[in-house]
Amino acid sequence: GATLGVLGGGQLGRMFAHAAQSMGYFTAVLDQDPTSPAGLVSHHHVRTGYEDPQGLTELARLCAAVTTEFENVPAGSLNRLAESLPVSPAGSAVAIAQDRAAEKAHFVKCGVPCAPYAVIATPEQLAAINEALLPGILKTARMGYDGKGQIRVKTRAELVAAWDELKNVACVLEKMLPLAHECSVIVARGRNGDIVNLPVQRNLHRDGILAVTEVYEGNLPATQVEQAIAAAKSVAIGLDYVGVLCVEFFVLENGQLVVNEIAPRPHNSGHYSQNAMDVSQFELQVRCMTNLPLVQPRQHSATVMLNLLGDLWFKDGDQARTPAWDRVLALPGCHLHLYGKVDAKRARKMGHLNITAATPAAVRATALQAAEILGIAPF
């Protein structure tokens, strides 16, 4: 069999490897960490940094095609690999996703509304900020995730202090919007331009980290569902994107749909697809990179995903204790996914629980029971 490579050894790479292996491929992972979740389950583990020329050469030698699971893999490494083998997504698309300023400019170009914003990369730009953007959120343009690198500011004085605290790196200031809910759409686009989507996911974040995703009929108003899918596709097509792309949205209190950001890879909010769809987001990733056909995925179950953060291991104090999986798995339709991370830490993504059922009411009831057993707050 051919070998498929992935840059990055986290849980997304691990689940990609599982999907690739079940379709008969070998997998190779590039990640420095000897205990990386994807490296532990792959046939080849190249243990260098993402920019190491020897590591990249070795990966290219092993693989028939390469993808990425980690948003901040240097775009230059993807471009370098693309000289000798198919790489999806392309470095050019990943470069836009890595930079909030370029990302927002892309949304504007595609005609998809995003939050009012301004770039702050110089003291002059800081001084010129329009008060109408306050209260707002100052976000570093690069490298932020799970709400890291963001400071909420109410006044100009707070903004000045926040930019200092972020070490005066390039940032965007976004206006704080009144959110009714958050949702996301995952699309997969092939090299021939075929594009398919997963259903719209309704997401609940806690402390800047995804906590719960719900996907079933009636979880969002129909007009916003259609708008979100159309917007996600136009963002992907505008990038000439190949691979799996997640587009995150805000639904405002007035019902308006606003794009938040994109992730150029499978996404935490798409994990339910492993158990509630007939094709998972990771299988879509494999199909994109190997030019296999993309068929529109079909949802066969109502579903809720609960993220399993390291905090659940510390419910009884500072000594890590494995949560009561036996009690959770006694409930109907619970699918446990753990990432094989060596040690639990608070706020670390350790796994997720997909719950499936025949109806929205049934899946919510079971998910709330599972949440109570685990000590996850109700939703």
99 binds, among Mg ion, ligand ATP, none (CB under 5 to 8 A by kind): none
How far is 378 from 367, CA to CA, in rounded Å? 9
Enter the DSSP assignment of 133.
G
343 binds, among ligand ATP, Mg ion, none (CB under 5 to 8 A by kind): none
Is 235 a binding residue for ligand ATP by CB under 6 A? The answer is no
Task: Let me know: does 363 contact 355? Beta carbons within 8 Å.
Answer: yes
Q: Is 69 annotated as a binding residue?
A: no
SS3 label, residue 134: coil
176 binds, among ligand ATP, Mg ion, none (CB under 5 to 8 A by kind): ligand ATP
Q: Binding marks (x or -) toward Mg ion, 255..274, rule CB under 5 A? A: ------x-------------
58 binds, among ligand ATP, Mg ion, none (CB under 5 to 8 A by kind): none
Task: Let me know: does 94 contact 105? Beta carbons within 8 Å.
Answer: no
Sequence-ordered list of residues with C-beta below 8 angstroms from that of 319, at least 6 positions apart, any chain: none
Long-range contacts (CB closer than 8 Å, 24 or more residues apart) made by 147-156: 147/205, 147/207, 147/208, 147/209, 148/208, 150/208, 152/176, 156/129, 156/131
Task: Name the nearest CA neighbour of 308 among 353, 365, 344, 270.
Answer: 353
Between residues 206 and 335, which has the closer beta carbon with respect to ligand ATP? 206
Between residues 10 and 333, which has the closer beta carbon with respect to Mg ion? 10
Enter the DSSP assignment of 199.
P
Is 99 a binding residue for ligand ATP by CB under 6 A? The answer is no
Q: Binding marks (x or -) toward ligand ATP, 133..152, rule CB under 6 A? A: ----x-x----xxxxx----
How far is 305 from 310, CA to CA, in rounded Å? 16
118 binds, among ligand ATP, Mg ion, none (CB under 5 to 8 A by kind): none
User: Rounded to the nearest whole angstrom, what is the least distance from the CB of residue 4 to Mg ion in the complex?
Assistant: 25
Task: Name the nearest CA neighbour of 84 among 65, 112, 105.
Answer: 65
Binding-site size for Mg ion (CB under 5 A) equals 2
69 binds, among Mg ion, ligand ATP, none (CB under 5 to 8 A by kind): none
Binding residue for ligand ATP (CB under 6 A) from 162, 177, 257, 334? 177
Is 208 a binding residue for ligand ATP by CB under 6 A? The answer is yes
Q: Which stretch binds Mg ion (CB under 5 A): 131-139, 245-253, 278-286, 299-307?
A: 245-253
Listing DSSP states for 264-333 in one string gives SS--GGGTTHHHHBSS-HHHHHHHHHTTPPP----B-SEEEEEEEEGGGGGTTSSS-----HHHHTTSTT
Is 174 a binding residue for ligand ATP by CB under 6 A? The answer is yes
Q: Which residues are annotated as a binding site?
A: 100, 139, 144-150, 174-177, 182, 205, 260-261
Which residue ranges make up the site for ligand ATP (CB under 6 A)?
A: 115, 137, 139, 144-148, 174, 176-177, 179, 182, 205, 208, 248, 260-261
